[in-house]
Amino acid sequence: MRPVAVLGIGQTVIDEHWDKSLREIAGEAAFLAMQDSGVEHPDGLFVGNMLSPLIGGQNQLATFIADWVGMWRAEAVKIEAACGSGGAAFRAGVMAVASGEMESALVVGVEKMTDKAGHDVTAALATAADADYEAEQGISFVSLNALIMRRYMYEYGWQHADFAPFSINAHANAMHNPFARLHDKISVEKFEKSAMVATPINLLDASPIGDGAAAVIIVPANKVSSLPGRPRIVVAGSASATDTIAVHSRKDPLFLSAAYLSSKQAFEMAGVSRDDIDLFELHDAFSIMSALSLEACGFAERGQGPRLGLDNEIQVAGGRIPICTRGGLKARGHPVGATGMYQIVEVIQQLRGECGQTQVDGARIGMAQNIGGSGATILTHILKAE
Amino acid sequence: MRPVAVLGIGQTVIDEHWDKSLREIAGEAAFLAMQDSGVEHPDGLFVGNMLSPLIGGQNQLATFIADWVGMWRAEAVKIEAACGSGGAAFRAGVMAVASGEMESALVVGVEKMTDKAGHDVTAALATAADADYEAEQGISFVSLNALIMRRYMYEYGWQHADFAPFSINAHANAMHNPFARLHDKISVEKFEKSAMVATPINLLDASPIGDGAAAVIIVPANKVSSLPGRPRIVVAGSASATDTIAVHSRKDPLFLSAAYLSSKQAFEMAGVSRDDIDLFELHDAFSIMSALSLEACGFAERGQGPRLGLDNEIQVAGGRIPICTRGGLKARGHPVGATGMYQIVEVIQQLRGECGQTQVDGARIGMAQNIGGSGATILTHILKAE
C-alpha cells in the first residue's frame, strides 16, 4: 500500500455544548480540517463515535454527517469500538487512501454526551464492558478500572499519591490548550483530597466526559509537499489489536496485551524504536491506564509505570517520553468516540510545532494510542514529520 | 487492489432466539463459515450490527465477537450503517483483503432484536432516520416508508394490490429456505386483507424483524481454486454511496439515487451490464422498496417497478431478473444489521447451485443490494462464479 499523509486538522473546544447539535459539532471540526487542507470534496468519510444511538437517538451517523457537510453521494462509514472509535475510524481512513480506493478521506471523531444526566451516561459507558458477564453484575466502567488499579497497587506496592504526577502533568499541559475542557492546575494535595468515585479512583484520577469533535483529511503522501514551517506529516505506523472483552478473562489483567501488540506492529511498520518517539498521546481515561500503557509499550518496566511520573520523565520540558502534552484525556477531556481523533490532531500539532508553551522541542515522531473498553481494542498510530 | 474471493459461508435460522445470546448467534454463523472455508484463524474480523447498543447493552461488538470465536489478538472492526450495516461490513472486509492488509477476513452480520417488546424496537429502528428532523416528529420507520409508498402510488397510478407479487414471490421462495423466518404461502387476497400497519403499508408489505447472523470468509482470489461442483466465487464489484439522511431533503424522494450510483459503480467495476445479472437479492424491507430498487438499478423504468412483478419477471423460474430467491427481507426475515450478510450468503448459495427448488438455472453472476435508512446508505455487490 502507498504511504499517506495527514493534510488538514480541525477540532472543537471540549465542553458541555448544549447549544449545538451533534451534527453541528461534527461539522465544525470537519470544515476546519477541510479548510486547513484545501480539500473541499473528500472522496469518503469515516466517523468514529460510540454513544450517538444511546444518547442522541441517532444511528447511521456517517451518512448523517456526510449529509450535513455536503458530501451527499460519497461513501460514508461509521466505526464503533467504544472509546477506541476515533482511532479505529482514523485507521479505516488511512487504509482507504493507502489502498488506492480513495484519493482523499475525511475522518471525524465526534461525541455528544452531556445532554443527558449522569446515570444515563454511566450506563451508556458500561456498554463498553461485557454486557452479559460484567455490566450485568452492576459494574460500571470506573469500577472496572478501580478493580484493576487496586490490584496493581497491591501487586507492586504503590500508594495512591504515586499516581498524582500523571494528573498533575495533564492538568498543567491543558492550561495551554484552548480546546481543553479543564483549565486548572492541581497539586498532590488536591489530588489526594479529591472526592472518591470508586476506591481507589478519585475524581482527579478520572477523565471528564464532554462534547467535542476532531477531524483530519488524509491524502496520498506524494500529493503533499514539505513546506518551510509546515512539514509533511505521514502516517508511518498504524496497527490495531484486541484482547478479551471482559477483564476477568485475561491471563493478566495488569498487562495491556493489545497495547503491547499494536505498538510493536506500529514500531515495525514505521521502522522506528520506542527511543525514537518524541511524544506519546496515551489513553489516560484513568491514571492507572497511563501506567499500564507506558509499560505495555515498553517505556517502563512491568509495574514501574508510576516511576516515570515521579521521576519527571513524562513532562514536555526535558522528559524522556512526554505524554498528554495537550492535557490528555484527564484535562483536555474525554468525549469518548472523539478522543482518538483528538490524540491524532494533537500529535500533528506537535509535529507542526504549533504547541506554544507545551511544544516538545524538535518533535519529529509522535505516537497516539487509543483504547476501547478496559483494554479490549487498542489502536496505535505513529506519525512522522518529513 | 487484488481480486478477492468468498471461500466460506454460514448462517443461522432467523427466528426469536430467546435461548441464545448475541454472541452465540454470531458465533454459530462464524464457526460455520470458518468450517466451510477451512480458514480457522482469520487475520481480522468485520462485524455489521445496528442495534446491540440499544437492545443488547453491548458496544465494542467486534472485539466482543472476536473474543467469543477465539480471535483474541486479531484486529476487529464494527461498522454500523443502520440496516445497511451488513453490506458495509462486507465491503470493509473485501477492502482489507483486496488491499493486501490481511490475508483472510471473517465478516459477520448479526442482530438480536426480539428480546425486547415492540415499542422499544420500533423506537430503536427509528434511529436510522434523522433524529432531529424526522424521528423528533414522532415518525417511525414504517411510517416514513408509508409516506414514500403513498406518494409513489399517487404519482404513478398504482393500486395497493399491484405490489402483491413482490410479497407473494418472496413468501413462495422462503418455503424452500430452511433458514427463513416465515414459511407460509400467501395470495393476493391474503395480501389485500392483511392488517394495516401505516397506510398504505400493511403487514404483508412489511418485512418481519428477527434474530440471526450470517458470515463469510474472504481471501485473495488466487488462493482459491475452482473445483467441480464448487466454483470460485469472486467479488467482482463493490460500491457504496449515500444520499441525504432525511427523506424530505431529497430532490426526488421516489428515486434511490444512492442505489443508482452504487449499482452503476459496481457494474463498471465488475465489467458487466445489468443484463448479465442472473439474480438480484434486493432490500425489500417494504414492498415499495422492491420497486424503487429495481428502478434505480435500471431493471425497470421510473415508476414501473411493480410491472416486473405483475409480468412474472421477478420469479426464479423464467423471470428476467429473479429477486428474493431465498425469501428476501419479506419472508427470510430482516434481522436488520445482519440482513446485508444474509444477502451475500444467499447470492453465493445461488452461484454454488445449492438452492434446490429456488435455484436460478445456470446462475453465474449475482447482485446484492443493502439499504441503510430510507435510502441514505446503499451498498451494491456483484459476485461472480468462475
Average of pLDDT values for B244-264?
A: 97
Q: State the amino acid at position A334 in one-letter form.
A: H
Q: Where are the beta strands (DSSP E) in A162-316?
A: 196-198, 201-202, 212-220, 233-242, 279-281
Q: B20 to chain A: nearest residue by CA?
A: A132
C-alpha cell at A202: 478519585
Put simply, the answer to whether B131 touches A57 (Cβ < 8 Å) is: yes
Q: Nearest 5°: phi and psi at B383?
A: -110, 150
A75-80 vs B75-80, strand pairing mode: antiparallel
Please report, to the nearest 10 degrees, the dihedral formed by the alpha carbons of residues A117, A122, A128, A131 taken in order.
-110
- The set of cell numbers assigned to B258 is 444512492
Interface test with B, best of A4, A21, A23, A64 (most B CBs within 10 A): A64
B22: three-class secondary structure by DSSP: helix
Cβ of B57 within 8 Å of Cβ of A242? The answer is no
How many beta-carbon pairs under 8 angstroms link A with B?
A: 191
- φ, ψ (nearest 5 deg) of residue A14: -90, 125
Residues of A in contact with B64 (CB under 8 A): 130, 245, 376
Confidence of residue A39 (pLDDT cuts 50, 70, 90): very high
**pLDDT over 90 at B161, yes or no:** yes
Provide the CB-side half-sphere exposure for B64 (13 A, CA): 32
Give the closest residue to A14 by CA, choosing from A350, A343, A358: A343
- Alpha-carbon gap, residue B205 to A181, rounded angstroms: 50
Q: Which of B63, B100, B242 faces A242 most closely, judged by CB atoms? A: B63
Residue-wise pLDDT for B15-67, tens only, equals 999 999 999 999 999 999 999 999 999 999 999 999 999 999 999 999 999 99
- Closest to B78 (Cβ–Cβ): which among A81, A131, A239? A81
Cβ partners under 8 Å of residue A27, min gap 6: A65, A68, A69
Q: Is B41 a catalytic residue?
A: no
A-chain residues near B69 (CB < 8 A): none
- Give chain B's domains with CATH numbers: 4-117+210-223 (3.40.47.10), 139-204+235-385 (3.40.47.10)
Query: Taking all residues of chain B, what is their mean pLDDT, rounded to a whole number?
Result: 97
Averaged over B352-361, what is the pLDDT? 97
Cβ atoms < 10 Å from Cβ of A113: 26
Of residues B184, B213, B174, B234, the one with CA closest to residue B339: B213
Q: For residues A16 and A233, is the Cβ–Cβ distance under 8 A?
A: no
Q: Looking at chain A, which residue has its C-alpha nearest residue B49?
A: A80
A117 pLDDT more than 80: no
User: B372–A244: do the CB atoms touch at under 8 Å?
Assistant: no
Give the minimum alpha-carbon distance from B58 to chain A in angstroms, rounded to a whole number: 5
State the average pLDDT over residues B9-15. Answer: 98
Pairing verdict, β A233-242 and A4-11: antiparallel
Strands B105-111, B212-220: parallel, antiparallel or unpaired by DSSP? Answer: antiparallel
Q: How far is B187 from chain A (nearest CA, A)?
A: 35
Residue recorded with cell 472496572: A144
Q: Is the pLDDT of residue A118 over 80?
A: no
Euclidean distance between CA atoms A126 and A119, whole angstroms? 11
Interface touch B131/A56, C-beta < 8 Å: yes
Read off the amino acid at residue B80. Answer: E
Phi/psi at B138 (5° precision): 90, 5
Residue in A221, A212, A241, A243 with CA at minimum distance from that of residue A340: A212
Q: What pLDDT, in 10s, does the model give residues A13-37?
A: 999 999 999 999 999 999 999 999 9
**What mean pLDDT is predicted for residues B306-317?**
98
What is the Cα–Cα distance from B179 to B349, expressed in whole angstroms? 12
The predicted model gives B254-263 an average pLDDT of 98
Active-site option among A83, A297, A324, A355: A83
Averaged over B148-154, what is the pLDDT?
Answer: 98
pLDDT of A280-293, one tens digit each? 999 999 999 999 99
Do B249 and A67 lie within an 8 Å CB cutoff? yes
The Cβ of residue B92 has, within 10 Å, a number of other Cβ atoms equal to 24
Interface test with B, best of A24, A63, A85, A255 (most B CBs within 10 A): A63
Residue type, B292: L
Q: Which alpha helices (H) appear in B157-276, and where do they start and end?
A: 164-174, 188-193, 257-270
Mind telling me how many Å the CA of B204 is from chain A's nearest CA?
A: 26
Q: For testing the chain A interface, which of B22, B130, B245 should be mutated: the one with the most A CBs within 10 Å? A: B245
What global pTM score does this model have? 0.97
Q: Cell match 414471490: residue? A: B169
**Of residues A63, A80, A249, nearest to B245 (C-beta):** A63
Q: Which of B17, B171, B283, B334 is catalytic?
A: B334
pLDDT in tens, A152-182: 999 999 999 999 999 999 999 999 999 999 9
Q: How many angstroms separate the CA of residue B305 from the nearest CA in chain A?
A: 23
- Give the number of other Cβ atoms within 10 Å of residue B304's Cβ: 15
Give contacts of A23 with chain B, Cβ < 8 Å.
132
Contacts with B353 (C-beta within 8 Å, 6 or more apart), sequence order: B229, B359, B363
| Spacing of C-alpha B310 from chain mean position | 23
Task: Give me the mean pLDDT over the A75-86 stretch.
Answer: 98
Share of chain B above pLDDT 70, in %: 100
- The percent of chain B in helix, strand and coil, each rounded to the nearest 5, is 40, 20, 40
pLDDT of A119 > 80? The answer is: no
Residue of A nearest to B91 (CA): A77
Q: With bands split at pLDDT 50, 70 and 90, how would you rate the model's confidence at A227?
A: confident
Confidence at residue B85, expressed as pLDDT on a 0 to 100 scale: 98
Bigger pLDDT: B321 or A72?
A: B321
Q: What is the DSSP string of B242-302?
A: E--SSGGGSS-TTS-HHHHHHHHHHHHHHT--GGG-SEEE---SBHHHHHHHHHHTTSS-T
Residue A324 among the catalytic residues: no
The Cα A213–Cα B45 span in angstroms is 27
Spot the catalytic one: A171, A283, A334, A381: A334
Tell if the CB–CB gap between A80 and B67 is shorter than 8 Å: no
Does the beta-carbon distance from B81 to A78 stay under 8 Å?
yes
Confidence of residue B228 (pLDDT cuts 50, 70, 90): confident
Interface test with A, best of B25, B52, B63 (most A CBs within 10 A): B63
Q: B242 and A100: CB-CB below 8 Å?
A: no
At A105 the pLDDT is 98
Distance CA B96, CA B92 (A): 6
User: Which of B113-117, B254-258, B335-339 shows the lowest mean pLDDT across its residues?
Assistant: B113-117
**CA Rg, chain A, in Å?**
19
Give the mean pLDDT of B309-337: 98
Residues A136-166: b if buried by 16+ CB within 10 A, e if exposed: eeebbbbbbbbbbbeebbeebebebebbbbb
Out of B61, B75, B101, name the one closest to residue A1 (CB): B101
- The rounded distance, in Å, linking the Cα atoms of B110 and B102 is 22
For residue B354, the distance in angstroms to the closest alpha carbon of chain A comes to: 33
Residues of A in contact with B266 (CB under 8 A): none
What's the half-sphere exposure (Cβ side, CA atoms, 13 Å) at A247? 23
Minimum Cα–Cα distance from A75: chain B residue: B241
Nearest to A73 among B73, B88, B261 (CB): B261
Query: Within a 10 A sphere around the Cβ of B137, how many other Cβ atoms?
Result: 10
Taking residues B69-91, report their average pLDDT. 97
Closest CA of chain A from B189, distance in Å: 37
pLDDT tens figures, A334-362: 999 999 999 999 999 999 999 999 999 99
Per DSSP, the residues of A292-355 read HHHHHTTSS-TT-HHHHHHTT-SSTTT-SS-B-TT-IIIII---GGGHHHHHHHHHHHHHHT--
The catalytic position among B17, B83, B283, B297 is B83
Distance (Å, whole) CA A165 – CA A170 = 8
